[in-house]
């Protein structure tokens, strides 16, 4: 392993220590001979997910807004990034600054909805085939594939699927004012925001050209700290379209379907609730 990581990064590796794992990946703390540390994800089954993550980190970093760790090396079985300093807590000022940085990252934009690489979220593939219309793209590339998977596994019932299909059919009227493609993280839940030295960093993206409200809805889904301050900072740079709060369930429907695919029927009620709330905007 040391030799592999050394070849991948072009650095002398002093030691490697296992620090955890998730979604089939092993996580390593890589100590380099120069005293610096990297964080590595290792998989025995190359599927393109690590390469997609590297693409996403580099792409988000191009915006020069929210800090992301540097990619030190990647291949099908290993991704090594610069170690982000230990994450501390956040306060109102730091949260507001993160919101402003996030708005700037989104505003950097994308050529279209989607991305030129296959994406992954929690180890599951994402169809990033590009399109010019967000409602159509979201229905076809994000909701439909995971709805089929959740129905096939039994996590959702037929009537649940019919409800989500109604959302998909009405997306053009549910999506709010048309917006250009934003440069979004795509899996921006609170666990993927680290706070070293009081500044928000992003890790583990499912990056693509998408709708900026998606990242904000993900922050709300699992309770990002100081969310009101994040939103205030965001709006100070890029005011949100009228009715954005009522569209949060629409944007949360995809990650909830992902969780239903991963964890089964325990997420059924959350999917149904989000779909029903999204339809209230009709």
Query: What is the tens place of the pLDDT at every residue in 2-21?
Result: 899 999 999 999 999 999 98
Give residue 9's pLDDT: 96
Give residue 34's pLDDT: 94
The answer to whether the beta carbons of residues 113 and 189 sit under 8 Å apart is no
SS3 call for 62: coil
> Does pTM surpass 0.85?
yes
Give residue 174's pLDDT: 97
Give residue 44's pLDDT: 87
Take residue 216 and report the two structure tokens written for it.
């904000």
242: buried, middle or exposed (CB in 10 Å: 19+, 13-18, 0-12)?
Answer: exposed
Confidence of residue 159 (pLDDT cuts 50, 70, 90): very high
Burial of 250-272, coded b for 16+ CB within 10 Å and e otherwise, reads bbbbbbbbbbbbbeeeebbebbb
Confidence of residue 282 (pLDDT cuts 50, 70, 90): low
Give residue 86's pLDDT: 74
Question: Distance (Å, rounded) from C-alpha 184 to C-alpha 107?
Answer: 9
- pLDDT above 70 coverage of the chain, percent: 100
* Biggest distance spanned by C-alpha atoms of the chain: 59
Query: What is the tens place of the pLDDT at every residue in 111-156?
Result: 999 999 999 999 899 999 999 999 999 999 999 999 999 999 999 9
């Amino acid at each position: 392993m040391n030799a592999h990581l050394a070849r991948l990064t072009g650095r002398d590796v002093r030691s490697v220590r296992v620090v955890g794992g998730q979604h089939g990946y092993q996580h390593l703390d890589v100590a380099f001979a120069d005293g610096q540390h990297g964080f590595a994800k290792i998989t025995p089954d190359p599927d393109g997910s690590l390469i997609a993550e590297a693409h996403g980190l580099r792409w988000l970093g191009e915006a020069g807004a929210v800090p992301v760790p540097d990619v030190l090396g990647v291949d099908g079985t290993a991704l090594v990034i610069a170690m982000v300093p230990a994450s501390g807590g956040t306060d109102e000022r730091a949260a507001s600054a993160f919101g402003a940085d996030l708005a700037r990252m989104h505003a950097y934009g994308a050529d279209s909805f989607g991305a030129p690489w296959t994406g992954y979220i929690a180890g599951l593939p994402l169809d990033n085939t590009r399109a010019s219309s967000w409602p159509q793209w979201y229905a076809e590339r994000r909701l439909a594939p995971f709805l089929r998977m959740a129905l096939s596994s039994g996590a959702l019932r037929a009537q649940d699927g019919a409800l989500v299909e109604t959302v998909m059919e009405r997306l053009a009227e549910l999506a709010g004012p048309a917006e250009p493609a934003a440069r979004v993280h795509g899996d921006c839940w609170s666990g993927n925001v680290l706070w070293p030295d009081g500044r928000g960093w992003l890790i583990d993206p499912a990056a693509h050209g998408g709708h900026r409200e998606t990242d904000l809805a993900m922050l709300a889904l699992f309770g990002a700290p100081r969310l009101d301050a994040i939103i205030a900072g965001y709006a100070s740079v890029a005011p949100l379209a009228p009715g954005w709060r009522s569209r949060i369930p629409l944007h949360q429907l995809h990650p909830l379907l992902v969780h239903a695919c991963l964890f089964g029927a325990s997420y059924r009620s959350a999917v149904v609730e989000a779909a029903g709330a999204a339809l209230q905007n009709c």
